[in-house]
């Protein structure tokens, strides 16, 4: 097999994994809905609602709460940037590249 063919296969596998990860994130909501159904008899003791009403109220509330948490992590905590910085510190390739860039900058400043 040629190098290009191997790169295409690798890229395709990574795309499929990415799609799987996106779908897996949705399973959180499915699990939450199933939890509501399983615990509905106990929840009914506190809140006088039917199981279908609980689902119609709590599942959208979980979507809203997830969005609000994501918004807070994005806008105020700057979570993606912090994650990227931590990943960069742990990556030997990034550290090696940064060292090379520092040397290049140092040489350019001497000229």
| Residue 76, helix vs strand vs coil | coil
106: pLDDT confidence band, cut at 50, 70 and 90? very high
Q: Is 108 a residue whose pLDDT tops 90? A: yes
Tell me the pLDDT tens digit for each residue of 28-87: 877 887 887 788 788 778 878 787 887 788 778 877 887 888 788 778 888 778 888 888
Spatial separation of the C-alpha atoms in residues 62 and 56, rounded to whole Å: 11
**Main-chain dihedrals φ then ψ at residue 8, nearest 5 degrees:** -65, -40
Compute the Cα dihedral for 94, 95, 96, 98 and give only its sign. positive
Tell me the pLDDT tens digit for each residue of 10-32: 888 888 887 787 777 777 877 88
What pLDDT was estimated at residue 15?
83
Spatial separation of the C-alpha atoms in residues 50 and 44, rounded to whole Å: 7
Q: How many CA within 13 A on the CB side of residue 106?
A: 6
């Amino acid at each position: 097999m040629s190098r290009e063919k191997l790169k295409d296969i690798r890229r395709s596998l990574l795309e499929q994994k990415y799609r799987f990860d996106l779908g897996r994130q949705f399973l959180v909501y499915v699990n939450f809905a199933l939890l509501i159904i399983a615990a509905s008899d106990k929840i009914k003791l506190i809140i006088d609602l039917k199981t279908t009403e609980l689902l119609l109220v709590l599942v959208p509330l979980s979507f809203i709460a997830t969005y609000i948490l994501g918004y807070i992590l994005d806008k105020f905590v700057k979570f993606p940037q912090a994650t990227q910085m931590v990943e960069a510190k742990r990556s030997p390739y990034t550290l090696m590249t940064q060292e090379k860039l520092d040397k290049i900058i140092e040489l350019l400043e001497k000229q």
